[in-house]
Amino acid sequence: MINVLTMILLFIALSFGIFLIGRYRALKICKGKIRLLHSKPVFHGSYLAIISLVPAIILSIIWLLVSHYLSQAYVISMLGDSYNILPKAEQASFLRQAAALANGSSFGEPSDLLKLASNYFSQFLTNGNMIVAALSAIFIIGGFLFAFKNITLKKRVRQFVEKAILALLICASIVAIITTIGIVLSLIFESLRFFEKVPFFDFLFGTNWSPQSAFEGAGDQASARNSEVFGAVPVFAGTLLITLIAISIAAPIGLMSAIYLSDYASKNVRAIAKPLLEILAGIPTVVYGFFAALSVAPFLRGAGENVGFTISSESALAAGFVMGIMIIPFVSSLSDDVINAVPQSLRDGSLALGSTKSETIIKVVLPAALPGIVSALMLAISRAIGETMIVVMAAGLAAKLTMNPFEAVTTVTVQIVTLLVGDQEFDSAKTLAVFALGLVLFCVTLALNIIALGFIKKYREQYD
């Protein structure tokens, strides 16, 4: 890792140096009269740096990415049979140990075979590094000489540099997009593996969720398993219930405080109240979580007892209530922005017709701001669906199919956490269920976003 860091620093230092040389050269050629140059000296400097360094940088990145696999293949081919006779399960850990040994970490007394393998490793990596370094040096020097010759009064390097910047921007977007696609694909493929073990419809429409009691047969009964413990309906019902409670608290409170802040509050009140409200968004969710579990839940239970309701100590109500408070700033802050964006001329028009302030807001301002308000609500709902910490602490673990907010329910996110905490085998149905849950959750939020976007498109009004 130290090597990578020095390499990055070296490249940065080199690019600065070469840039300065190019700029200096351009200045010298035009004898200080920049007007004579087609492209300004900075472009010449950048041009020189790009031509010299980019090929070497690309080579180094490729080497970093593939050297691990190449070295493994090399070691395996060199060891030959003495590697192949190792049990399959040990091969991977053997290679890992050898690589670690080659990196200088030691543990116990390594076997001779391990020593040999680690020697091959370091041999391959050292030689490889040398070759890559030599090639890079050739690229840098060759590129530098080639580009340096091109620094003339007439050379049009400006266009080249602009194109290089475009390429850089495209690369950045591609990285972001590929990451997204990668996550979605891994969700889909792992889910497919899960659906090989548990039928799709058993998962989506089953009403019994108790994955801890899942078993998979061994030996003769390798195909035996109880798939009917993976019915996801109660889990999604729990998420739905808690989200509903949260949004029915956050929507009215958030919207009304947004209206107050944008249309009623004086400048001074607004300057203080708006940041205060946004602080709510900055509180870590884990704090909300123990607030829900330790303060709100006991309070609700006590209050329920007084009026004759039985509220369990971990209830959907407590979790939903606290989650609602957590997402208030999403609703209020975004709604406040869109309500403010409604032109004053519309308010004036309504007031001049003799309507009161509240009539103006209800009949003119809110309809005009509706698309923005809907997207604020959708964002808040997505937050609520994906929220984990509060429900882990306050909602409960048992998957019970109920719509009674006084009982404990569990949510998708809670189940994902419970399934992944502790030691796991990575190909058991229990672990793979996580991917299926994640996939369905992803589809739900995606659908919500698409609906919201469609709604906004349909009702967007042109006012200006």
Partner 1 sequence: MKEDGKMSKKIKVKAQDVNVFYGEKQALFDIDLDIERNQVTSLIGPSGCGKSTFLRSMNRMNDTIDICRFEGSITLDGTDIYDKNIDVVELRARVGMVFQKPNPFPKSIYENVAYGPKIHGMVNNKEDLDKTVIKSLKRAGLFNEVKDRLDESGTSLSGGQQQRLCIARAIATRPEVLLMDEPCSALDPIATAIIEELIDELRQKFTIVIVTHSMQQAARVSQKTAFFHLGKLIEEGATDEIFTNPINKKTQDYIMGRIG
Site of interaction with partner 1 (CB under 8 A): 266-267, 343, 345-356, 359, 363-364, 367-368, 461-463
Nearer to partner 1, 243 or 350 (CB): 350
Q: Rank residues 262 and 333 by Cβ distance to partner 1 and give the closer one.
A: 262
**Least distance from partner 1 to the Cβ atom of residue 266, Å:** 7
Nearest of 205, 242, 204, 213 to residue 437 by alpha carbon: 204
- Report the distance separating Cα 345 and Cα 364, nearest Å: 11
Return the number of the residue (89 or 352) whose C-beta is nearest partner 1. 352
CA 66, distance to chain mean position in Å, is: 25
State the first-to-last Cα distance of the chain, in angstroms, to the nearest integer. 56
d(CA 135, CA 138): 5
> CA-CA distance, 64 to 56, in Å (whole number)?
12
Nearer to partner 1, 304 or 367 (CB): 367
Helix, strand, coil % in the chain, rounded to nearest 5: 80, 0, 20
Read off the DSSP letter of residue 262. I
CB atoms within 10 A of CB 291: 19
For partner 1, the closer CB: 366 or 417:
366
- Minimal distance in Å, beta carbon 359 to partner 1? 6
CB 170 within 8 Å of CB 44:
no
Please report how close the Cβ of residue 275 comes to partner 1 at its closest, in angstroms: 21
Minimum Å distance from CB 347 to partner 1? 8
Q: Kindly tell me which of 262 and 415 has the beta carbon lying closer to partner 1.
A: 262
Assess contact for 262 and 343: CB atoms under 8 A: no
Helix boundaries (H) for 232-343? 233-259, 267-282, 285-291, 297-307, 316-341
Least distance to partner 1 from the beta carbon of 47, Å?
A: 50
209 forms bridges with which residues in the sheet? 230
To partner 1, the closest distance from the beta carbon of 343 in angstroms equals: 7
> Which is nearer to partner 1, 93 or 356 (by Cβ)?
356
Minimum CB separation of residue 64 from partner 1 in Å reads 55
Report phi then psi at 15, rounded to 5.
-65, -40
CB of 349 to partner 1, least distance (A): 4
Judge residue 19's burial from the number of C-beta atoms within 10 Å of its C-beta, 0-12 exposed, 13-18 middle, 19 or more buried. Answer: buried
DSSP string for residues in 405-422: TTS----HHHHHHHHHSS
Residue closer to partner 1, measured from CB, 118 or 360: 360
